[in-house]
Structure 1
Amino acid sequence: MYLNLTVCDSICQHCTKSQDICVTEPRIAPLSPPEAAQLPTSVRQRLMHIERCLFWKGEVQRADLVDTFEVTTVQAAKDFRLYMDSFPGKMVYNKSRRRYVPEPAFSPALIRPDTLDEFAAIPSAKVPVAHWPLPLRRASPEVLLSVVEAVRERRKIEVQYQSMTGQAPEWRWLSPHAFASDAERWHVRAFCHTRREFRDFVLGRILATRAVAATNIDPVADTEWNTFVEVLVTPNPRLETEQRQAIGAEYQLPDDLELTLKLRESMLFYVKAKFESPKTDDPAAHQLFVAELKQLK
């Protein structure tokens, strides 16, 4: 399909300002969900961002695509036309505001807005957002590069690690084979040649790396990593019925308020640390907990 690029003499439905580049082309039939899923990833990401802006800011303009994806205004115009033709009735151009706004019955077609994490980074003058001023847990790029390469190439690596049981950082050999997250920080799963066992190591506590070498450690031998368990999570029975129902709705629990999580046995420590009862008699301070544990064969 050839695109006819023209220069508008005035503001039209497709332009955000006069003398802007307008893309005119035959309208296409609306995309079905499978067809939308088959769009090139870069195009689909830009169309999804259009929806994020419509949902979060209540408006969208070409600068949202140009600044976020570093595309040209011509490409942004094509994306807007593709979105409007593919998903009619979702947005309309507001001439007075010189930007697109959602239709009154707007509902996203490509995104599923079930968490604020997807939108909080998008600046919006009408939706204030505050973040906890906590320090970030990060590994240095040099450390991360070395450890990822060691995992990928199945080699052992010498690292300087600051444990919480030692006073000073120590150099030790690790044979890393996987990464895991407890939703707060990243760990590398590795065989420790000092302790002679598989353990979790916090990436941010690896201060430096140096030598690498071949390893004879087989990740299959990491029993805790390769064993899966099921844990039953449920609202605290000590809460009132209405409170338990509210917790169930918040965490999208099934009707019986019991959620079974399947996870690696090596991650069980972090789940228990999150859900086990704190030192308090207030049940509201302990909303969820692990009610049952079953090891899978």
Structure 2
Amino acid sequence: MSNEKLSALTQPQRDRLAFVELRVRFIGEIRRQDLVSRFGIQSAAATRDLALYKDIGPNNIDYDAKGKSYVIGTDFSPLFDFPPERVLTWLSQGFGDGEPLLLKPWVSCEIPTRLTEPYLAILAAVTRAIHLQCPLKIEYFSITSGKSVREIVPFALTDNGLRWHLRAFDRKSQEFRDFVITRIKQPVVMKGAEVLTHERSDQDIQWTRIVELDLVPHPDQPYPEITEMDYAMRNGILHVKLRAATAGYTLRKWNVDCSPDHSLHSHEYRLWLSDSLALYGVGNAKLAPGYRAPMTGNSTSLDRK
């Protein structure tokens, strides 16, 4: 029945209802002004759209008189089938929030497929907890410790190029950690629960610290001038700034040789970190290819494990 009602609407109406669903499902709430701002419609029209969405999906949204907003219903069931990659694009880049259609590209374009994508039901609970700034109770499956029940305080999503992570304070270990979203089960948003000062993102040293890195053409690879062109280097240097919490993941994704003596010679290493000491104190520096902690002499490169 809901599909029949949706098909009877105009495309602009369906786009607005799709936006309502995205906001409610992944942010946890929507106000009339959100529709007014996004689509340039009058307040009365926004009210009608919200009423129409509630008519088609009566269990999907409830009105919160205290917050003067519509919030996700306890028996929510999606009306729209959004692909996970589009939801993540919307969450991370803020566009593509109309009705999910199979659109033809303007030019032929081939994009690598991700091997893992989070379940939208799990992702939705995670993003609502982030937006509402409240704790999240989860079942988490770790390779080292197996299944455990945890309370975490999430505040950001991170993409390491292979899979999506969640940055959060872990009340079990009492420290900030990364959690793989596909390893989360049974999430419960603890709306209204207290978040302590030491659990907030501004207390995460690895998240707030910015490391500045100089990447140069790999000394042992041919044609450095082509590498300079490929990466739009200035004076042979690509200067980048990264959060310490994401630096190791990013350098691995970019295939940057982070050994102090540029000792990784495979052809994929076209870039070299000219000063490996810039990673000193970075918690996940061990993920960077070839990185060796100062004074130890022991390689922690993933390539040599």
TM-score (ref. length: structure 2): 0.49
Say which of 237, 248, 270 aligns to 2:219.
237
> Which of 221, 229, 240 lines up with 1:249 in the alignment?
229
Distance 1:145 1:131, change over 3 A: closer
Structure 2 residue aligned with 1:264: 243
Q: CA deviation at 1:130?
A: 4.7
- 1:146 is paired with a residue of what secondary structure? helix
Q: In the superposition, relative to structure 1, how do residues 287 and 149 fare at CA in structure 2: closer, same or farther (>3 Å)?
A: same
Give aligned-pair identity as a percent. Answer: 23
Task: Find the counterpart in structure 2 of residue 273 from structure 1.
Answer: 252
8 A Cα contact 1:277 1:286, kept in partner: no
Q: 1:139 maps to which residue?
A: 118
Q: How many residues align?
A: 173
State the secondary structure of the residue aligned to 2:143: coil
Q: How does 1:161-180 map to 2 (within 5 A)?
A: 161-166=140-145, 168-180=146-158
Higher helix share goes to which structure?
2
Deviation at 1:204?
2.2
Aligned match of 1:122 in 100, 105, 118? 105
Q: Which runs of 5+ in 2 are unaligned?
A: 1-36, 40-102, 280-305
Distance 2:123 2:264 in 1: 42
Using a 3 Å threshold, how does the CA distance of structure 1 residues 287 and 201 change in structure 2: closer, same or farther? Answer: same
Please provide the CA RMSD for this pair: 3.3
Q: Which moved more, 1:212-221 or 1:171-180?
A: 212-221
Quote the Cα distance in structure 2 between the aligned partners of 1:273 and 1:236.
15
Describe the superposition over 1:253-274 as per-residue Cα deviations: whole angstroms up to 9, x where unpaired.
22x2211111111112213433
Partner of 1:6: none
Q: Is the 8 A contact 2:257 2:264 kept in 1?
A: no
Cα distance in 2 for partners of 1:282, 1:121 equals 41
1:244–1:283 CA distance, 2 compared to 1 (3 A): farther
What's the secondary structure of 2:142's corresponding residue? coil
Determine the C-alpha separation between the residues in 2 that align with 1:283 and 1:211. 46
1:285 and 2:268 are equivalent in the alignment: yes
> Which residue pairs with 1:158 in the alignment?
137
Q: What is the CA-CA distance between 1:225 and the residue it aligns to?
A: 0.7
Cα deviation, residue 277, structure 1 = 5.7
- Secondary structure, counterpart of 2:131 in structure 1: helix
1:160 positional shift:
1.5
Task: Give the distance between the partners of 2:168 and 2:241, measured in 1 at CA.
Answer: 21
Provide the C-alpha distance between the structure 2 equivalents of 1:148 and 1:286, rounded to a whole number of angstroms. 35
Aligned partners of 2:134, 2:114: CA distance in 1, in Å? Answer: 34
**Runs of at least 5 residues in structure 1 that lack an aligned partner in the other structure:** 1-39, 43-119
> What displacement does 1:239 show?
1.7
The corresponding residue for 1:9 is none
Distance 1:233 1:221 in 2: 29
1:187 maps to which of 149, 158, 165: 165
Q: How do 1:196-211 and structure 2 match up within 5 A? A: 196-210=174-188
Q: Which runs of 4+ in 1 moved over 6 A?
A: none
The structure with more radius of gyration = 1
Calculate the TM-score normalised by the size of structure 1.
0.50
Displacement after TM superposition at 1:171 (Å): 1.6
Deviations 1:95-124 (A, max 9, x none): xxxxxxxxxxxxxxxxxxxxxxxxx96165
C-alpha separation in 1, matches of 2:226 and 2:143: 38
| Cα distance in 1 for residues equivalent to 2:265 and 2:137 | 46
